[in-house]
Structure 1
Amino acid sequence: MRKQYVLIGLMALIVQLAQAQFTLDGQFRPRAEYRNGFQTLIPDGADAGFAINTRARLNAGYQTEAFKVYLSIQDLLVWGENPQIIPVDANNSFAIFEAWADLKLGGNWSAKIGRQVLSYDDQRFFGGLDWAQQGRNHDLAMIQYKGDFILDLGFAFNQDLDNNGGPLFGFQNVGTGYPNNNPFQYKTMQHLYAKKAWDGFAASLLLVNYGHQAFDTNSDPDGVNSLFTAGTHLTYKKGAFGAAANAFIQTGEFFNGSTDVGGAYLLGLDLTYKTSDKVTLGAGVELISGDDASTTDKTEAFIPTFGTNHKFNGFMDYFYVGNHINTIGLFDVHVSANFKLSDTSSLMAKVLNFSGDQELPSGEKSLGTEIDMVYSKKFKGYALKIGYSHLFAADGMYELKGVAESAAKDTQNWAWAMLIIKPKFLNTAK
């Protein structure tokens, strides 16, 4: 009798799958890193760090004519972090990375609800942060239109159901005064994204307002400190030539609620030229406004809050990757070259020169020069990437990081190797 129930269940599942599309895939991504100056200057006499970690993901999608549901679970495994035979994960890294439903509302309209990735344009302000093994996601509801143009309207309200009191229904003042001791964890967010493409040209508009629960003693403890960002991304391509530009402005209140933000901006321009089928050259500049130290109750420093910041301003992550917030800003001038070595391999080389938008207390602006190189190779069913970066620090970098030049290593570098495997377990799509 039990076998009959199993057969009936399997037959019902087969019928259901025949009427819908079901996908099951995954990702296995181990990465080894040698850090000898990554994110900050390593002191002289300190040993370089070396570690291996792995991202393991399992993704499932289910789609009918009326809706689509997607679930992505992941764990981050640092090799050797778990003692032998320990019954639980040492760093508690197992998580649901995405869990959303996309409901069709008729015509070109839909509603996407749940935990999801926001990734727009070149990911300068909103990105999935795929380089980081944990990635970046958002819990929100979004109305979308996809037709001759794209429109997203998103709304988020983060809360703690374990707390029953207060107009904001949670997020208590703990530690630093930020939820979960994380100043980037917002309380509320509303955003609008619109994009239109023409022949060879595309333009997008992004408006974002996000708020942090106010914990400053001079403000309403149940209020929200809001920061508003408006920006555009423009792209142009004709023949071998390509161009991309970013322009953002920011105003409102800083995380702590006691500092106003005004006159903050980000401007960027990148040009590419394909000299042949095998070589593409690039050049660009980016200016991110910094804080004028002469004003104590106001900051002009721009924050690219939710972007994939590892992609910009050098792969060694000295700027805007959990650091360099509300400081002297950045002026980044860079050139690059991409070489197609074969049908399955390529090499990217990039040189970046950094200086501050504002002066350091010493009057210094120059921060240094970085060289980034990435080799990529595709094999049958998997891919390999190998990278090397080297920083030539200037006087300003030592001052910025609070390390005397005499106390820092002569060599500041970083190297990594990453294997990427994306198995396709099941796909019932017709």
Structure 2
Amino acid sequence: MLRFSGVFAGLLSSGFLGCLAFSEASAQAAADPFRAWLEFRPRWEAADQDGVRPAEALTVRTRLGFETRAWKDLSATLEFEDVRSLYGNYNDAVPPAEPYAVIADPEVTEVNLAQLVWKPAEAFSATLGRQRINLDDQRFVGGAAWRQDEQTFDALRLDYAAGPVQASYAYVDRVNRIFGDDLDWDSNTHMANLRVSPGPSLELTGFAYLMDFEDGGAPVSNATYGARMTGVIAQSGRKLAYAASLARQTDYGGNPVSYEARYAAAELTLSDGPVAGRLGWERLGAGDGGAFQTPLATGHAFNGFADVFLTTPRDGLDDIYVGASYTSALALGPILKPAVSLTWHDFSAERTGADLGTELDLTTTFALSGDLSGVVKLARYNGAGGLSDRTRFWLGFTWKAWQ
């Protein structure tokens, strides 16, 4: 199995520096041989959960990145990331566990991106190195970008897009998870995704994700095959967006547990100008031996912001949710483009129908300038079925400057 860390990282850095040197040498011929960015994301999070001490954390994420322009069909990206805790008492989810509620933002300094991209034709590209991989709605593969330490992948990825067809394949050698280097997973994972757009209001996607993890990831190694349908129907200024997914999952690779489980989801979103309403249902089924799991998903975006169900319960999960949102094009003093959304979830066990509680999520986003934005979020989970009540609150800002 290939290993992208160590020597590989050195090779990538050398390749990047080589591209950068070329860019500097060609500065007179190209007005912008490369671009750079600097980002700060301070955030305060508070978590209150029955049975453990309340937690709070003031953290700040800093990123510094560079990207070269294409030269002989090659370009390079390098991004450094640092997460610091400025104040608080919390369990950062990295052993040893602290006696507080979990706020999964450990301190870490790392290379977040280190990739070379070869694009010999408009329809094809190949990406090698540490990179972001966000597939479809990120229900199965994503960057978990809500946490301060983003999930990235050491991988070789091939992309093809021409006309109505988009296809991607990735081999993942290592998963750089949100908990820092000590809890990353070595991987022998294959990801294939094929999307076809037969009409202006319909997209059909088929996917196969064969995930095999070493070390602590072995119990969630799985093979998932599925299909997804999405589209938007517009009439008289109103839009109806729809999405539906089906998938089947079995144990795979080093997983010591033999099981089979099913997944299904459906969602409708009706929007009229700045107002939108959403109704959805998601089922992560329970089969003989285990339940449907999504170890590489952007889990925070699904099944409630309180993060109660990042791991699917043994009896599976049914999530029925309804939400509404409003986005304003007006400015409220210094606040630009304010938006608010409210979502209510009703959870139950798929196998037994047992009540697993309800949750109410509130999100407000806004901009203070073109470079500065903010977010306020509140999640209140009312537990049932042995699960404890939880409340989470976030206040955060992101400032990003580009060269």
TM above 0.5, yes or no, is yes
Matched with 1:201 is: 202
Alignment match of 1:74 (pick from 69, 81, 96):
81
Q: Which runs of 5+ in 1 are unaligned?
A: 1-8, 82-90, 160-179, 216-222, 293-297, 402-407
1-structure distance, mates of 2:44, 2:129:
33
2-structure distance, mates of 1:419, 1:214:
35
Matched with 2:15 is: none
1:422 match: secondary structure: strand
1:128 aligns with 2:143: yes
Q: Is the 8 A contact 2:242 2:267 kept in 1?
A: yes
1:13 match: secondary structure: helix
1:310 match: secondary structure: helix
Q: Is the 8 A contact 2:358 2:382 kept in 1?
A: yes
Amino acid paired to 1:336? G
Matched with 1:48 is: 54
Matched with 2:320 is: 333
1-structure distance, mates of 2:399, 2:357:
36
Distance change in 2, residues 1:369/1:59 (3 Å): same
1:302 aligns with 2:292: yes
Alignment match of 1:29 (pick from 41, 51, 67):
41
Alignment match of 1:415 (pick from 386, 393, 403):
393
Matched with 2:244 is: 245
2-structure distance, mates of 1:118, 1:12:
27
1:189 aligns with 2:189: yes
2-structure distance, mates of 1:10, 1:118:
28
2-structure distance, mates of 1:214, 1:35:
30
What do the CA deviations read for 1:200-233 (whole angstroms, capped 9, x no partner)? 1112221111223499xxxxxxx99962111222
Alignment match of 2:229 (pick from 230, 234, 238):
234
Q: Is the 8 A contact 1:254 1:260 kept in 2?
A: no
- How is 1:13-28 mapped onto 2 (pairs within 5 angstroms)? 13=24, 15-16=26-27, 18-19=29-30, 21-28=33-40
Shift of 1:80: 4.0
Shift of 1:131: 0.3
Alignment match of 1:115 (pick from 98, 115, 130):
130
Over the aligned positions, Cα root-mean-square deviation in angstroms equals 2.9
1:212 match: secondary structure: coil
Distance change in 2, residues 1:59/1:12 (3 Å): closer
2-structure distance, mates of 1:124, 1:11:
39
Distance change in 2, residues 1:14/1:234 (3 Å): same
2-structure distance, mates of 1:254, 1:324:
20
Q: Is the 8 A contact 2:286 2:315 kept in 1?
A: yes
2-structure distance, mates of 1:106, 1:136:
29
1:286 aligns with 2:279: no
What do the CA deviations read for 1:372-406 (whole angstroms, capped 9, x no partner)? 00111111131111011112222x1x2xx4xxxxx
Shift of 1:370: 0.3
Amino acid paired to 1:377? F
1-structure distance, mates of 2:35, 2:357:
47
The count of corresponding residues between Structure 1 and Structure 2 is: 347
**Of 344-353 and 50-59, the range deviating more from structure 2:** 50-59
Matched with 2:334 is: none
1:272 aligns with 2:278: no
Q: Report the TM-score, using the length of structure 2 for normalisation.
A: 0.79
Distance change in 2, residues 1:365/1:17 (3 Å): farther
Q: Is the 8 A contact 1:283 1:336 kept in 2?
A: yes
1-structure distance, mates of 2:48, 2:137:
29
1-structure distance, mates of 2:220, 2:359:
36
What do the CA deviations read for 1:218-250 (whole angstroms, capped 9, x no partner)? xxxxx9996211122211111111101121211
1:318 match: secondary structure: coil
What do the CA deviations read for 1:30-53 (whole angstroms, capped 9, x no partner)? 11011112xxxx22xx55222111
Alignment match of 2:351 (pick from 343, 358, 362):
358
1-structure distance, mates of 2:64, 2:360:
35
2-structure distance, mates of 1:106, 1:207:
26
Amino acid paired to 1:24? A
1:115 match: secondary structure: strand
Q: Is the 8 A contact 2:220 2:293 kept in 1?
A: no
Q: Is the 8 A contact 2:168 2:193 kept in 1?
A: yes
1-structure distance, mates of 2:21, 2:248:
56
Matched with 1:165 is: none
Q: Report the TM-score, using the length of structure 1 for normalisation.
A: 0.74
- How is 1:360-375 mapped onto 2 (pairs within 5 angstroms)? 365-375=354-364
Shift of 1:118: 0.9
More strand by share: 2
- Greater relative contact order structure (CA < 8 Å, 6+ sep): 1
Amino acid paired to 2:192? L
Amino acid paired to 1:185? W
Shift of 1:341: 3.8
1:272 match: secondary structure: strand
Shift of 1:99: 0.7
Q: Is the 8 A contact 1:192 1:207 kept in 2?
A: yes
1:32 match: secondary structure: strand
Shift of 1:337: 0.2
- How is 1:248-267 mapped onto 2 (pairs within 5 angstroms)? 248-253=247-252, 257-262=255-260, 264-267=261-264
Shift of 1:77: 0.9
Amino acid paired to 1:284? G
Q: Is the 8 A contact 1:332 1:355 kept in 2?
A: yes
Q: Which runs of 5+ in 2 are unaligned?
A: 1-19, 89-105, 176-180, 331-336
1:154 aligns with 2:170: yes
